[in-house]
Amino acid sequence: MKHILLLAGIVIGLALVPLVITKAYILNLIILISLYTVLSHSWNILGGLTGQISLGHSTFFGIGALVFRYLWVMGAPSYLALCGGSISSLLLASAIGFPAFKLKGHYFAIGTLALSMIAIITVQNLFPGVSFSPPQYLSKYSLVPIYYMAVTVSIIAIGLVYALTRSKLGLAFISIREDEDAAEAIGINTFKYKVISMSLSTLIAGLGGGLFSFYVASYYYYVPFELGWSFDPVLIAFIGGPGTVIGPLIGSVCFVLLKELFAINLGQMNVLIFGIVFILTILFLPEGLIGLMKRLQKAKRFGLSGRLRDGSI
């Protein structure tokens, strides 16, 4: 009951934000946090829960953006265009993504990376121009509908991962992550569950792409296919905590706010800084900030701060 009340409070609070906050910049930041939460959760389902490290999410994100923009410019309502983008991501994954499961481990990561490189080169050659938002939309542009769409989609993504972590399906994903051969040995159809995981993951990535396209007024068609959209969700999930419900959200908050701060003051140096943060996270916080919080809680409970320091907890 407590949790439901808390959740309802958060949802109502988020719904009231545009009425209270008039600064567009703050809304921009919340939209960006939501966008990265959606993208990192889409990676989290496949990479964090199922253990299949994908470096090809920019392809699914990009195709969601591309289809959304085409449908939207043609006059489709934004929510229908969003669904269209998401489904096309899934279709693309069915056509070219699932065969990638023939590859395992590092080879799967390299295969998906190759896929995203092929996608960006193809889009650069087939769609060389800029995609402008419809002029009638620009003339009455408002961040509020984008904000609501962003928050709704991120709640859907978080809700989905929450439901997965409490379901048999989620347990199957985790068993594959922990030991694929052992999972197969106890009767889990690993290929089937990997396909389900990839389907859910690409559906969410497509939603993220549509959200991007709704948010950014004009961009080159290839921009949502850039490799950064493959690497950023990995970084975010690892900073927050891979395979967790809240980790990608925490990672997104850190990522967006710190990036904004560093980028404004340090320019492209922020890329270097985030690279170092990523290495340090992998070395010292393999379970991300969520893992650190758990360790701190444990230490507090048992009063064993010394053991925390020496890393034995």
- Interface positions with another protein (CB under 8 A): 23-25, 28, 32, 120-121, 124-125, 128-130, 132-133, 135, 138, 141, 216-220, 222-223, 263-264, 267-268
Could you tell me the smallest distance in angstroms from the CB atom of residue 114 to another protein?
Answer: 16
CB of 312 to another protein, least distance (A): 42
d(CA 13, CA 240): 23
Least distance in angstroms from the C-beta of 120 to another protein: 8
CA distances from 293 to 98, 246, 297, 302, 313 (A): 36, 12, 6, 14, 12
* Closer Cβ to another protein, 37 or 50, answer by number: 37
In the complex with another protein, the residue whose CB is nearer, 101 or 220, is 220
DSSP state of 311: T
CB of 8 to another protein, least distance (A): 30
Neighbours of 300 (CB within 10 A): 11
Q: Which is nearer to another protein, 55 or 290 (CB)?
A: 55
Taking the least distance from each CB to another protein, the nearer of 100 and 151 is: 151
Taking alpha carbons only, the member of 21, 8, 52 closest to residue 201 is: 52
Provide the minimum distance between the beta carbon of 130 and another protein in the complex, in angstroms, as a whole number: 5
Whether 204 and 45 have beta carbons less than 8 Å apart is answered as yes
Nearer to another protein by Cβ, of 216 and 277: the residue is 216
**Facing residues of 131 across strands?**
219
Q: How many CA atoms lie within 13 A of 258 on its CB side?
A: 16
CB of residue 213 vs another protein: minimum separation in angstroms? Answer: 11
Distance, CA of 215 to CA of 236 (rounded, Å): 20
Q: Which of residues 188 and 258 has its CB atom nearest to another protein in the complex? A: 258
How far is it, in rounded angstroms, from Cα 124 to Cα 257?
30
| Angle subtended by helix axes 2-20 and 24-43, to nearest 10 | 140
Ranges of beta strands (E only) in 107-244 are 130-132, 218-220
> Quick one: 21 or 182, whose CB is closer to another protein?
21
- CB of 249 vs another protein, minimal distance in Å: 20
- Return the structure tokens found at 11: 């949802």
